[in-house]
C-alpha cells in the first residue's frame, strides 16, 4: 500500500538508497493507478501529473533499474520500456534537489548522532 507517493525531479544518481528504492515502489503505485489497478491513487497529485504520460514513467523506471543494478541491488519488478523521456524543468529540479539535501542531511545528522552515542557507551 502506498501512502506517500513521489517521483523526484532529479537524476536517479542523486537519490540515496532510501529515496531510490522508495521512488521505485511509488512509481509502481502510480503506474498501477494509471492502469486502473489501484483505484485509491487515481486522484493523487503524482498520478494526475502523469496522466497521459505513462511512457515517461516507464522511462524513469528504466533509469531506476539501471541505477539499482549499478549499486548492486537486485530488481524483479519489470515494466515496459518507455518511448518518451522523463523530463522536468530547472525549477522542479532545484526544488526537489534542495528538498533531498534537507531530507538526506537530517538522516545523516541523526545517524551521526547515534554513532556518537554508541561510541560513548
Q: What is the pLDDT of residues 50-88, one digit of tens each?
A: 999 999 999 999 999 999 999 999 999 999 999 999 999
The pTM score is 0.83
Confidence label for 12 from pLDDT (cuts 50, 70 and 90): very high
- Residue 120 is predicted with a pLDDT of 39
Please tell me the distance from the alpha carbon of residue 14 to that of residue 51, in angstroms, as a whole number. Answer: 25
Does the pLDDT of residue 116 top 80, yes or no? no
39 pLDDT more than 70: yes
Is the Cβ–Cβ distance between 48 and 39 less than 8 Å? no
Angstrom distances, CA of residue 76 to CA of 25, 30, 106, 118? 12, 18, 30, 36
Q: Which residue has the cell 521505485?
A: 24
Amino acid at each position: 500500500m502506498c501512502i506517500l507517493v513521489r517521483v523526484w525531479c532529479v537524476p536517479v544518481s542523486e537519490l540515496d538508497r532510501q529515496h531510490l528504492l522508495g521512488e521505485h515502489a511509488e512509481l509502481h503505485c502510480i503506474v498501477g493507478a494509471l492502469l486502473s489497478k489501484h483505484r485509491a491513487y487515481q486522484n493523487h497529485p503524482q498520478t494526475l501529473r502523469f496522466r497521459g504520460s505513462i511512457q515517461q514513467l516507464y522511462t524513469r523506471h528504466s533509469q531506476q533499474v539501471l541505477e539499482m543494478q549499478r549499486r548492486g541491488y537486485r530488481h524483479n519488478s519489470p515494466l515496459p520500456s518507455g518511448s518518451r523521456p522523463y523530463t522536468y524543468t530547472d525549477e522542479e529540479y532545484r526544488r526537489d534537489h534542495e528538498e533531498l539535501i534537507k531530507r538526506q542531511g537530517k538522516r545523516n545528522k541523526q545517524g551521526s548522532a547515534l554513532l556518537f552515542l554508541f561510541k560513548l557507551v
